[in-house]
Structure 1
Amino acid sequence: MPEKDFSSVLKKPRLVVRNFLARPQHEGVGAIVRRSIGRFELKYFDPFLVLDEFSVTAPAGFPDHPHRGFETVTYMLQGAVTHEDFEGHKGTIGAGDLQWMTAGRGILHSEMPAAQGTQKGLQLWINLSSSHKMIEPKYQEMLSKDISEASKDGITVRVIAGEALGTKSPIYTRTPTMYLDFTLKPGAHLQQPIPTSWNAFVYVLEGEGTFGSPKALPVTAHHLLLLGISGDGLETWNKSSKTLRFILVGGEPLGEPITQFGPFVMNSQEEIDQTIEDFENCVNGFEKARHWSSGDSLN
């Protein structure tokens, strides 16, 4: 049997419907982020709450702060950060490593530089359905060497979540999600299926690429591209002389109301009010916040 023609996977590629340049802004304590989702023009892209490309150099960072009601996915591009929480979970996320944290009913943690120089990475916030918002916190962590990879015809993909080029990730996603890190050599042409009911976007990390249509204008680093809902996947060309790297992220929309107050994301104002009360009183998931601060284990 002849090899399957990968160039004919898609019947109708999705087109780019919006294009944002993520500009630098200050977050945390002295950290710089390029925020593309969770900004004024795009406050929510169901089920995605925030996408930050962060850059941090000690002593700047993200000291003790809480979360409830969603997941954070931290993917390091350069350097390393140390994570520590009030449950005693602690570790270092190095270049190429992944941490998929389900905050659920409550986490208080810190994320600080763990190496000299500038640490860079991506952090994605994924909303949880109302049935999962108050589950116990959980972690899924993978070292760079353990992340599934596949290559074909000038294309290499790191499969953080979902499936690409016949390779699947072991990460379990409570909100069905795909998260793929693609690198295309000059001249490479990609067609990647996306479930037809899912929302999806591209964020360009380096190089320039043509997305959705061969006649589209090329897009460069730090741009977020929202893909239309009509179509069964993403088509991309690298027509430049340099390597193109981007992430493709897709997820099943929850279709539920959201109310957000900073690091808390629930379904109603009443639930947000209760969350603030829980945190202030150190109850209902935040009990250990009363006597904890990062670095306690070193004192």
Structure 2
Amino acid sequence: MSMRWCFSINSASFLLRFQPIKQTIIFGTKHRNTFTRIMSSGGDQKVDTGFEMPRHVVKKVLAKPQQEGVGAIVRRSIGRSELRNLDPFLMLDEFSVSAPAGFPDHPHRGFETVTYMLQGAFTHQDFAGHKGTIKTGDLQWMTAGRGIIHSEMPSGEGVQKGLQLWINLSSKDKMIEPRYQELQSKDISKVEEDGIQVNIIAGEAFGVRSPVYTRTPTMYLDFTMKPGSQLQQHVPKTWNAFVYVIEGEGVFGVPNSSSLATSHHVLVLSHGDGLNVCNKSSKTLRFVLIGGQPLNEPVVQYGPFVMNTQAEIEQTIEDYHLCRNGFERAMQWKSQ
């Protein structure tokens, strides 16, 4: 019996760049799916911790530049050896790409990719005929589900920058049909108060909720804080959460248990019901606060495929090679 190998040279190269990741089991407790209100104050006022169990930094990792895709440079924070994953999060990259570098045709199965543009624009196209360009401040929330092959390439001149987050899907959702949620910058909820601006990508802040549906319950908030501003942000108590500093420096945590962090650092937070942040510097601080309800399921990852067992990974690789069970449309497809 002959077999048709459907993947292109580009996608095969992308797949083989990754090393298999052994099965990991992450334990936790059941978590509530609620978001609570931000409280913030400006100036030099003293900050009350404001929480029954304030969060503090338990781990700090510097995201160092590395090559990915074809000639692209990323700073990977979650997904590197020092921080393999943080249930339900599998990876966070801050990418900086100039044409002709980029991320040509490659597959995904079993999780979601969230692309948030910080500067410039990226064009996405997939084997189902979906195509679009996201620009500065725009968002694409892609649920790969049972299978997607797509390309992500810079659009325009100069350096294109953004964040890409990988969020795991539960076993019951891994084989759902692919889908997209896309928001232009003008449609992303924004609030500005007391020297703090927040773009509400997912979840809630200042009583304002994002329209994005999170199949794996998630909060994703982009904060910009002026010098001297102070913030208290509620987070569901037992969700896993982290901060990634985009620019500037800030103090995260409460007195006697705080951590100073500068750009390109990821801060893993303890469990608790909220986070205190203070910008004591003379420059603007920008960071994302991301939290999610752990799935508490085995994670078996082979590059862009994330399942629950080794057998499922082997089945996925076979499906991909033979263009079946979600990858049928890859048979004749190549991005333009």
Shared fold per TM-score greater than 0.5: yes
Aligned-partner residue type, residue 25 of structure 1 = Q
- Counterpart CA distance in 2 for 1:10 and 1:239 is 21
The 5-angstrom pairing of residues 45-194 of structure 1 reads: 45-194=86-235
Structure 2, unpaired ranges of 5+: 1-37, 41-46
Residue type matched to 1:210 in 2?
V
More contact order relative to length (CA 8 Å, sep ≥ 6): 2
* Structure 1 residue 12 displacement after superposition: 2.5
1:253–1:217 CA distance, 2 compared to 1 (3 A): closer
- Relative to structure 1, the CA distance from residue 183 to residue 22 in structure 2 (aligned partners, 3 Å threshold; closer, same or farther) is same
> Any conservation in 1 of the 2:57–2:259 contact (CA below 8 Å)?
no
Q: How many residues align?
A: 291
Structure 2 residue identity aligned to 1:225? L
The 1-side partners of 2:166 and 2:260 are apart by: 27
2:264 matched residue in structure 1: 222
Deviation at 1:233, TM superposition (A): 0.9
Q: Counterpart of 2:24? A: none
Cα offsets for 1:228-262 (capped at 9, x unmatched): 11x21111000011110000000000000010000
Q: CA deviation at 1:180?
A: 0.1
The superposition leaves residues 114-134 of structure 1 with CA deviations (integer Å, 9 ceiling, x where unpaired) of 010010000000000000000
Output the CA distance in 1 between the equivalents of 2:183 and 2:136. Answer: 11
Query: Displacement of 1:151 after TM fit?
Result: 1.5
Q: Does 1:37 align with 2:78?
A: yes
Moved over 4 A (4+): 4-9
Match of 1:139, SS state, is strand
CA contact (8 A) 2:253 2:259 kept: no
- In structure 2, give the amino acid aligned to 1:176: P
Matched, 1:283 2:283: no
- Secondary structure of the residue aligned to 1:218 is strand
Query: Which string of whole-angstrom CA distances, capped at 9 and with x for unpartnered residues, describes residues 5-50 of structure 1?
Result: 7566423310100000100000000000000001011111000000
Which consecutive unaligned segments of at least 5 residues does structure 1 have? Answer: none
| 4-13 vs 135-144, which moves further | 4-13
Q: Residue 197 of structure 2 aligns to a residue in which SS?
A: strand
TM-score, with length taken from structure 1? 0.95
Structure 1 contact 151–165 (Cα < 8 Å) conserved: no
Please give the alpha-carbon distance, in whole angstroms, between the structure 1 residues aligned to 2:220 and 2:147.
24
| Corresponding residue SS for 1:276 | helix
AA of the residue aligned to 2:160? Q
Shift of 1:217: 4.2
Distance 2:85 2:268 in 1: 12
The one-letter code of the counterpart of 1:245 is R
RMSD: 1.2
Instruction: Check conservation: 1:73, 1:123, Cα contact below 8 A.
Output: yes
User: What percent of counterpart residues are identical?
Assistant: 69
> What is the distance in 1 between the residues matched to 2:82 and 2:285?
26
Instruction: For residue 214 of structure 1, report the CA deviation from its aligned partner.
Output: 3.7
